Amino acid sequence: MFTGIIESTGQVESLQSIGGDLRIRVQTALDLSDVHLGDSIATNGICLTVVDWGSNWYAADVSKESLNRSTLASWRVGQTVNVEKAMLPTTRFGGHIVSGHVDTVGEITLLRQDARSVYFEVTAPAHVAKYLAEKGSVTIDGISLTINYLSGSILSLNVIPHTAERTNIVTWKVGTKVNIEVDVLARYIERLLLGDRAAEPEVKSGLSMEFLAENGFLK
């Protein structure tokens, strides 16, 4: 688990195709002295398992599922990425619960200065809009952010100077693709509302105003 508070940035050092998936190596100034084989490091919000490492780099294998769900398939050598080690029980919980399991890819459709902060809008795929809430938490490229407001599946967000300086936000521009992870609680609430229907094969969420009314959630 992670908090979405970025500890450092890194640069993609190599991308090696192995047996249909990928091995990635990231160079970083992050303190890796306490990292062990099998530890998790969120890289642009993707939970990656360390398979090799040195004093200033780590390597991880990336499955086809992660390549299909995230922006990783389009990464290039030299690209700047956000890096966070897995949280400890003693870690100050400054962000929100982040699993590192990317839900989908969004696109930055507006970016401008807003006083000292950076204001930007991210257009998410329509199917994840139901998991987003005004003033709720969302993870963008591993960064824990608060949604200002929503217009359909368009998220409005502000980033303070401190966050901008410590992340890869300076590389963003209109058209940049970003990883999105919704609040983990939203996923489980939807599943719980299905009740016994969740055990049915091929069942979709099925959530509608009619479903909610029939099951006592609306009057």
Note the pLDDT of residue 213.
62
Which 8-state DSSP code applies to residue 19? Answer: T
- pLDDT at position 93 is 76
Alpha-carbon distance 31 to 55, whole Å? 8
What's the CA gap between 140 and 110, in Å, rounded? 15
Judge whether 8-85 and 104-186 match in fold: yes
Q: Which CATH architecture has domain 104-186?
A: Beta Barrel (2.40)
Terminus-to-terminus CA distance in the chain, angstroms?
38
pLDDT of residue 205: 58
Question: pLDDT value at position 137?
Answer: 93
* Mean pLDDT by groups of 10 residues along the chain of 219 residues: 93 94 96 95 97 97 94 96 90 82 96 94 95 94 95 95 93 96 87 82 61 59
Q: Is 131 helix (H, G, I), strand (E, B) or coil?
A: helix
pTM of the model: 0.87
The reported pLDDT for the residue numbered 29 is: 95
The pair of structure tokens assigned to 200 is 């049915």
- What are the domain boundaries of the chain? 8-85, 104-186, 187-219
Question: What stretch of H or E contains 64?
Answer: helix 64-69
Residue range 8-85 forms a domain whose CATH class is: mainly beta
